[in-house]
Structure 1
Amino acid sequence: MTTPALTTPRPLNPTTRAHALHTMATTELDVLVIGAGVVGAGTALDAVTRGLRVGLVEARDYASGTSSRSSKLIHGGLRYLKQLDFGLVFEALRERSLILDTLAPHLATPVEFVYPLERPLLDRAWAGAGIGVYDILGAGRGVPAHHRHLGRRATLDRFPGAKRDRIRGGVSFYEGQIDDARHTMMLARTAATHGALCASSTRVVDFLRDGDTITGAVVEDLETGHRFDIRATRVINAAGPWTDQIQAMLDATPQFRIRTSKGVHIVVPRDRIDATTGLITETDKSLLFVIPCPWSEKHWVIGTTDTPWDHDLAHPAATRADIDYILTQVNRLLENPIGHDDIVGVYTGLRPLLAGNTDQTTALSREHAVVTPVPGLVLVAGGKYTTYRVMAADAVDAAITGLPQRVGPTRTHTVPLVGAHGYTELSLSRARLADDMGLPPATIDHLLGRYGSAITEIHDLITTDPHLANPLGTTGYLRAEIVYAVTHEGALHLDDILTRRTHLSIETTDRGTAVAAEAAALAAPHLGWDHTDIAREVELYTARVAAELDAQHQPDDATADAIRRTAPDSRSTPATPVGA
């Protein structure tokens, strides 16, 4: 059965958050989901579209952890073919197709990659065979099929900036790319539209119990410091890297352990690499991607690293060694090498891997696990971004076991996200949209790629206040987008706006500090901020940027972590209550 498209998406904002918190405090839920990364938001959507009463709580911001710091790809994972994990690859390729074609066509697009060959016989045998299997497993699944073997000239036509003496040919194939932070936030907003109660800045501090059974959670509103109980028949933990901390609250033996692997990416201007496609190359440790930035035609995203991380989970830090490693690997291919001065952004994410007996995180499982350690609680962990929907469905399947009411199977394969319905038609009417909104066609393309059919909500803001059609400095964003981040997308702090609703923290050399005050002033009326609050938010964001830049000059994780921790956190101590 196809779920009907919802014509009036529900916003995420201080008012809907307050309503969600009040309702969760006074009404027993069927399912409470902990963690609003891609798996948690996907789990909330899965549960609510099965007719369950659902709450979703997140200690920080939507997608504030791993789900905003990925490689921005939805892919099967070529590296897993080397591990002969055909099942995982096939599953991921199936999900890639759903995301591209049905669930989020406004946020996800196909992108061509070239695998340059330096050792013609050996490389072509491995890459050709591996990508060939990839094609077979993914035939007809969202991207143009059939990889192509390229000669030296055809490879250099796609990659003119290559070291010509190293390139002997190439293999061309397609993947999918996505704006991960926006996709995850849209998942949460879609869940809210279907009736889920969603609240960020809401931290679980303990579980409620009836004997050995978990019956809910004690949570703290980090914007006010208020603590209260949320009662639920089932609790699903989808806290990713924080899974071990959640398990530590239980009087039970942990079902598994999580090892966190650090993945660092750098962002450089598009003109620093002369190429018309994305690039992928094998390193001594893993694969390195050079990815056309999914939200901007002005940048490349290059990464990643894969090393153990044993420090702060909320703010993992990149080191000089991490950045040097990426530069060394990509410069093996480039005629004009990239240097530190070319980098406009660096971001660091943590992969929550199921622990094994190896010290190498590259060898740990990207498979996921769903367990019920005690009655009433389900833990879901591991996995990869692309297969979030499968993980969510498995978690809800486990949670509904034993419920008194009949609950049907997952329906999320038929549920487009907010902005998807009507997107194709609008994208074919760019000229009319440009005339209606009084904006250049390039700006319409920018907005459609970020909001899809929800561009009409941006239009409504501009109609109400035409000044919001003006640009935010020279960033390429409209002032309306800053306001919209608060009124519709759940941003509660300046960092949420500049890091996840936009990407100014990684796409400008000043890391967004040049427009921080202007952005805070635009958000202020909608968050109840006065001049003191505005100054505080700008100070917090500026301190965060300074600490990250300083950490990126340090030689090791421990030193970088210590420096990054010196920056105060916008969610550590409540200031003015949000929306007051």
Structure 2
Amino acid sequence: MHGINDEVFTAAEAMNRMMTRDFSRLNGPIFDVLVCGGGIYGAWTAYDAALRGLKVVLIDRGDWANATSSASSKLVHGGLRYLENFDFKLVRKTLAERQMLLAAAPHRVRPLRFGVPVYRGGRLDRFRLAVGLTLYDGLAGAIGGGQGFRYYGGRRFSGRFPFLRADGLKAGFTYLDAQTDDARLVLELVAGAQSAGAVCVNYCEAGDFLERDGKLSATVVTDRTTGESMAVQARHFVNTAGQWAFRLQQGRQNYRLSKGVHLVLPNLLGNEALLLTAKADGRVFFMIPWYGRTLVGTTDTDYAGDVDAVKVEAEDIDYLLNEVNHFARNTHWAKDDIIGAFAGLRVLKASDASSPSAVSRDWELQAAPNGLLTSIGGKLTSARSDAAEIVDRLCGDLGKPVRCATFGKPLPWAPEGDFPAWSAAMIRRAVALGIDRESADWLLFRYGSRVPEIFDQCGKRPGSAVRIVADAPFIVADLLVCARTEMVVRLEDLLRRRLPLLILAKLAPKEVRRIAETIAPVLGWDQERIEAELKAICVS
């Protein structure tokens, strides 16, 4: 990677970073492991295994991070609320991962301070919060150095969070956690796995499994873009398909599903988040600044419906809006104020607990008699650690005792050297090219060391430094680079996961059409394909 003053970014380097989709590469020698499911668990597993020298193939029936892994609260956190359930082991593990990722991926994982108000008659009082936050900081090793929690009287806390209603506000605390872009975190890991030698193909579905002597030996894989199928041989198979895991387990669903819904509202908070306790049921929910909007969520309800048709229901919207309005000062948010919304399913371990919120978020690896390993449960934050256990097991079974190297390893797009100095230099370059300051800041968050690709695009194409739409911090060059280099197959891949415009802006049909026509030459789409893509996301 280049130094902060190096203006050169060669075409060869750009090509090396380009994600390529090549179904034919599945037709090769026997793989060591085939990973089914390209969410956060599949991505970490493939990346770790490839770094250890295993022959890896990673597939997903849809796009990378197309389900739960792009429908999270976008947090890298220890889970303060889990301390109430005395789940110290999980909190310690996730806090260790948070601290590691803050250091190893400063472009991808950013510190975020949360406020916790204490209201008269509320469920959480000052003493319990102070004890819990002291323990939380202690488990993270974050006491001192400006990272620890802080206490505020009611008036000072109200001044820090003027959005909150002041009546009954006795005091408040702030504490440190972190946030990310979940879909781009997955994408970066898939890109890293591919660079390390893994074969990674999205829109590629595993069908019938083949066995030899009672053990899995191959699966029939279908390219969903062409209909072509082939048998792919592997020594081991890992099921990280999340809500679709049962389809690979011959229909046995030995886990629990919980639906989580988030709303996207206008910017209410500035640069700090809030952890709040719902009046309706005492659950914790968040208000989080994200790409200049406010993310509100999440719900946590049992789900027994169609896993291919998870959607935001009217009662989900009412629940979250009612809770936001309960805490809002002189403001009443209505459905018309919602910019975007999304739903996802959490896969939880089987439990008899009456509420999904009471079920542990810890992770387990299930092994079937035929050798299929299935990942159940877990969290975005702890996925790297859990994936390392999966790969440890694979290496043991293969007789290749190679130790995990992902803990503390900079992520594939992490810039080298002094990150603040690098960031300042990149921002100066961006502004000089005509990119507005807010969009430039988010470009660094999205691309890390790849951001010179954006600058190169701005130099090549006049007008590509401007925003795609006025009120969202994404520029035309970002759109074009994503389309060309990030394994985009469908328009929704681009507008929901590469750039989350579909949930961060109320796009008019003509704006979506303009975007589709802009990227059509890059992706080789004709007018018929453009119309099909617009129809698929309900734009005419």
Report the TM-score when normalising by structure 2: 0.92
Which residue of 2 is the match for residue 338 of structure 1? 333
Question: How far apart are residue 523 of structure 1 and its match?
Answer: 2.3
Q: What's 1:472 paired with?
A: 468
Out of 521, 524, 529, the position equivalent to 2:520 is 524
Q: Which residue of 1 aligns with 2:74?
A: 72
Q: Does 1:492 align with 2:489?
A: yes
Tell me the residue number matched to 2:365.
370
Task: Report how far residue 226 of structure 1 moved.
Answer: 1.0
Q: Deviations over 1:253-285 (max 9, x none)?
A: x5x712110011111111xx3666211112224
Among residues 504, 507, 518, which one is paired with 1:507 in the alignment? Answer: 504
Q: How does 1:169-568 map to 2 (within 5 A)?
A: 169-248=171-250, 257-270=254-267, 273=268, 277-283=272-278, 284-293=281-290, 296=291, 298-335=292-329, 336-404=331-399, 406-422=400-416, 424-430=420-426, 432-434=428-430, 437-474=433-470, 475-510=472-507, 513-542=509-538
> Per the alignment, do residues 469 and 160 of structure 1 end up closer, same or farther by CA in structure 2, a change over 3 Å counting?
closer
CA distance in 2, matches of 1:141, 1:227: 55
Q: Is the 8 A contact 1:266 1:347 kept in 2?
A: yes
Counterparts of 2:434 and 2:250, CA distance in 1:
55
2:115 is aligned to 114
Letter in 1 for 2:450: A
SS in 1 for 2:234: strand
Which amino acid in structure 2 is aligned with residue 384 of structure 1? K
Unaligned runs of 5+ in 1: 1-5, 547-580
Cα shift at 1:162: 2.0
Counterpart amino acid of residue 372 in structure 2 = L
- Which residue matches 1:569? none
State the distance in 2 between where 1:9 and 1:429 align.
24
Matched letter for residue 322 of structure 2: T
Deviations 1:148-181 (A, max 9, x none): 1210111111111222212111111111011111
- When residues 457 and 368 of structure 1 are mapped into structure 2, their CA distance, relative to the original with a 3 A threshold, is same
Deviations 1:410-436 (A, max 9, x none): 111143223212354430214541366
Q: CA RMSD in A?
A: 2.3
Amino acid corresponding to residue 536 of structure 1 in structure 2: A
Aligned with 2:147: secondary structure? coil
Structure 2 counterpart of 1:501, one-letter code: R
Cα distance change on mapping 1:339 and 1:436 into 2, 3 Å: closer
CA deviation vs aligned residue, 1:290-311 (integer Å, no higher than 9, x gap): 1111xx1x21101110001112
Classify the secondary structure of the residue corresponding to 1:491.
coil
8 Å CA contact 1:494–1:516 kept in 2: the answer is: no
Q: 1:43 corresponds to which residue?
A: 45
Q: Kindly provide the CA deviation profile for residues 394-415 of structure 1, in whole angstroms up to 9, marking residues without a partner as x.
A: 11112223214x2311111143
Residue correspondence of structure 1 range 9-20 to structure 2 within 5 A: 10-13=16-19, 16-18=20-22
Deviation at 1:140, TM superposition (A): 3.1
Q: CA deviation at 1:518?
A: 1.8
Deviates more, 1:420-429 or 1:80-89: 420-429
Contact 1:262 1:307 in 2 (8 A): yes
Q: CA–CA distance in 1 between the matches of 2:463 and 2:178?
A: 36
Is contact 1:9–1:418 with CA below 8 Å preserved after alignment?
no
- Is the 8 Å Cα contact of residues 137 and 143 (structure 2) preserved in structure 1? no
- The one-letter amino acid paired with 2:397 is G
Q: Which stretches in structure 2 are left out of the alignment for 5+ residues? A: 1-11
Corresponding letter in the other structure for 1:137: L
Q: Residues 29 and 66 (structure 1 numbering): CA distance in 2 closer, same or farther, change over 3 Å?
A: same
Whether the aligned pair in 1 keeps the contact of 2:339 and 2:506 (CA below 8 Å) is yes
Q: Secondary structure at the match of 1:81?
A: helix
Query: 1: distance between equivalents of 2:407 and 2:260?
Result: 29
TM-score (norm 1): 0.85
2-structure distance, mates of 1:480, 1:229:
39
Q: Structure 1's 83 and 155: CA in aligned 2 closer, same or farther, altered over 3 A?
A: same
Give 2:229's aligned amino acid.
R
Equivalents in 2 of 1:533, 1:419: separation in Å? 32
Q: In structure 1, what residue type is equivalent to 2:326?
A: R
Q: Indicate if the aligned counterparts of 2:101 and 2:408 stay in contact, CA closer than 8 A.
A: no
Q: Distance in 1 between matches of 2:202 and 2:425?
A: 35
1:377 and 1:198 map into 2 onto residues whose CA distance is: 20
Which range moved further: 86-95 or 228-237? Answer: 228-237
- Matched letter for residue 418 of structure 1: P
Assess, with a 3 A threshold, how the Cα gap between structure 1 residues 453 and 150 changes in structure 2: closer, same or farther.
same
Separation in structure 1 between the aligned mates of residue 387 and residue 367 of structure 2, nearest angstrom: 14
